[in-house]
Amino acid sequence: MNSTGEAFGQIASALARNYDSLFYIDITTSSYIEYSPSKIFECVGIPSSGDDFFTDSRNNSAKCVHPEDLAHVVRLFHKDAMLERLEKHNIFTAVYRLILNGRIIHVRHSEIMCDDKQHIMCCIENIEDDYRRNKEQQRDLQSARRMARLDALTGIRNKNAFSEYSELLNSKIQNLHDTMHFGIVMCDLNDLKKINDTRGHSFGDEAIQRASRLICDIFDHSPVFRTGGDEFVVILDGRDFIERDTLLKKLRAESLSNQYSRSGPVVACGMAVYDPASDKNFDEVFNRADKSMYENKKELKNNVQISRSRNAEGSNGQITAERKRILDSMFGAMYTLVGEGYIFLNDMHYDYSRWSLPLVVDFGLKSEYMYNAGAIWQEYIHPDDITVYSDAVDTIFNGNAEVKAIHYRARKTDGTYVVCATRAFVLIDENRVPEYFGGIIIPE
C-alpha cells in the first residue's frame, strides 16, 4: 500500500476496536485484509486476507450464516450491488444471524465508503446482548400492554380493551357497513351491592368471578369484557353470532334457575344486533342492548317479588306492617351484635320469619322472609336428625323460654350435609306465650 493506503489502514485499525471484525477492501482489485480484535471468524476458518473479498465472502457465508438469512447475506456481498448502495449512501447497515460455536448470534453488518472512494470498510458487530435486551423489553412492554387490557379479578378483557375494540368496530362500520355482522350482549350481575354489604367484598369478588365464568362458558367463541363492577359486555362473533338467540335463552334460563335455587350468579342480560340499514355507529347497537338488559333486570326483580308473595300464601294471617317493622328492627340489632353469620328471627304470632342472606344463599332457601319457616327448614334437615330437631322445637313451642342448644345436620345448596350448632332463644309476651324465636346457626 502507498502512504495514503497506510493512513487508511491505521484508521481502519483504530475503528476495528469498536467492531468484532473489520475488513478493509480495495475497490479496484477487490483484495482485502481483516482487522479483527476478537477473531470472531477463526472458529469457522474464514481467512483474514485475500484477493477477492466479494467472492470469498459469498462462498464463506454458508459456513456461518443462519440458513434462513443466507440468501439475503449472499446478495449483500455482490460487488456491484454494494457499490450501488454506497453511491446513494456512504453508510449502509443490515442485521442477520450467524451460527458460531453452536450458538446463534445476531450481528450488525455495516458498509462504509472511505473518503478516498477507493476503499470500503465492511464491519461486523456482535449485537446479541443488545438484541436480547431489546427482545426482553419488547416482551415486558407487550406484557404490560396485555395486562393493561385484562381485568385483574376475572382474567377477561377490561374496559380499556373494550374501548379499543369498540373503536375498531366503529371503523369497520364506516368502511364495511354492508358486510358487517356482529351483536352485543349486555350483562349485569344482580344484587352485587347487597352481597358486598351483607357478606363482604371477598364474597362479592367470588360472585363476580362466577358470573364471568358463566358468561364465558356460554359465549365461548366471542370476546367478553368486564366494563364495570357488575357489568359485562359480549361482542358476538362467528358461531356465537349465528346461535345468538339460543345462547341468550340459555344464559337467561341459567340465571332464572340460580335465582330460584339461590345457588349461583343471577345475570340480567339483553341483546342487540347491528343493522347496517339503520345503525350509524357502535353506540347505537350498544344502547339497544343496554335497554334490553334493563328490561330483563326488571323481569328478574318481579320474579323475586312474586316468589315472596307466593311464599306468604296459605298463612293464617298476614303480618302487619308494624309487626314486620319490629321484626326487622330486632333482626338488625341481632345482626349488629353477631356480625356476619347465620341468624334467624321468627314472629311466632304470625309464624313469619326473617333469615340472614348468607343462610339463604348457602342452604338455598326460597327467600329472606318466609311464612311457616319451621316446616320449610325441616325439609333441609338430615332424616336421622328430624326427631332431635322436632323435640327441641316442640319444647320451645310448649313455652320453655330458656336458651336452647340444638345440634343436627342440615343440607347445603351443593347437597352436602353440615353439622349445625344452633343457639336459640325465646321471648314470651305478657301472657307467657312465646312471641319471638331467634338465634344463630353455627356450622361445625
Render pLDDT for 299-310 as a digit per residue (tens, 0 to 9).
887 765 544 444
Backbone angles phi, psi at 328, to 5 degrees: -65, -40
Integer Cα distance of 285 and 186 in angstroms: 11
pLDDT at 146: 65
Contact 211, 309 (CB under 8 A): no
pLDDT at 260: 66
Cell of 267: 345475570
- pLDDT tens digit string along 8-67? 555 555 565 678 888 999 999 999 998 875 667 776 678 889 999 999 999 999 889 999
Smallest Cα–Cα separation from 105: which of 185, 165, 44? 44
CA–chain centroid gap for 394, Å, is 53
| 3-class DSSP state of 114 | coil
pLDDT at 95: 94
DSSP labels for 194-242? Answer: HHHHHH-HHHHHHHHHHHHHHHHHHSTTS-EEE-SSSEEEEEE-HHHHH
pLDDT at 28: 95
Contacts of 168 (CB under 8 A, 6+ apart): none
In terms of Cβ atoms closer than 10 Å to its own Cβ (0-12, 13-18, 19+), residue 271 is: buried
Angle (deg, nearest 10), helices 282-312 and 244-261 = 30
Rounded to two decimals, what is the model's pTM? 0.47
Integer Cα distance of 77 and 109 in angstroms: 11
* Sign of the CA dihedral running 193, 197, 201, 205: negative
Integer Cα distance of 11 and 31 in angstroms: 18
For every one of its 444 residues, what pLDDT tens digit does the chain have, with 9 covering 90 and above? 454 555 555 555 556 567 888 899 999 999 999 887 566 777 667 888 999 999 999 999 988 999 999 999 999 999 999 999 999 888 999 999 999 888 899 999 999 999 889 999 999 888 888 888 888 777 766 765 666 788 989 999 999 999 999 999 999 898 876 778 999 999 999 988 888 877 788 888 999 999 999 999 999 999 999 999 999 999 998 999 999 999 999 999 888 877 765 667 899 999 999 999 899 999 999 999 999 999 999 888 776 554 444 444 444 468 888 999 999 899 888 888 876 678 999 888 888 899 988 888 888 888 888 888 777 888 888 888 887 777 776 655 544 445 556 888 999 988 899 998 888 887 877 766 678 888 888 887
Contact 274, 180 (CB under 8 A): yes
Cell of 50: 485475500
Instruction: Please give the single-letter amino acid code of residue 178.
Output: D
pLDDT at 401: 45
Integer Cα distance of 360 and 355 in angstroms: 7
* Domains recognised in the chain with CATH numbers: 3-131 (3.30.450.20), 149-310 (3.30.70.270), 321-443 (3.30.450.20)
Residue carrying C-alpha cell 347497537? 285
pLDDT at 15: 63
pLDDT at 315: 44
Contact 35, 16 (CB under 8 A): yes
Contact 131, 139 (CB under 8 A): no
pLDDT at 310: 45
In terms of Cβ atoms closer than 10 Å to its own Cβ (0-12, 13-18, 19+), residue 426 is: buried
Residue carrying C-alpha cell 328478574? 300
Smallest Cα–Cα separation from 66: which of 95, 39, 34? 95
Q: Tell me the helix, strand and coil percentages in the chain, rounded to 5.
A: 50, 25, 25
Residue carrying C-alpha cell 341468624? 343
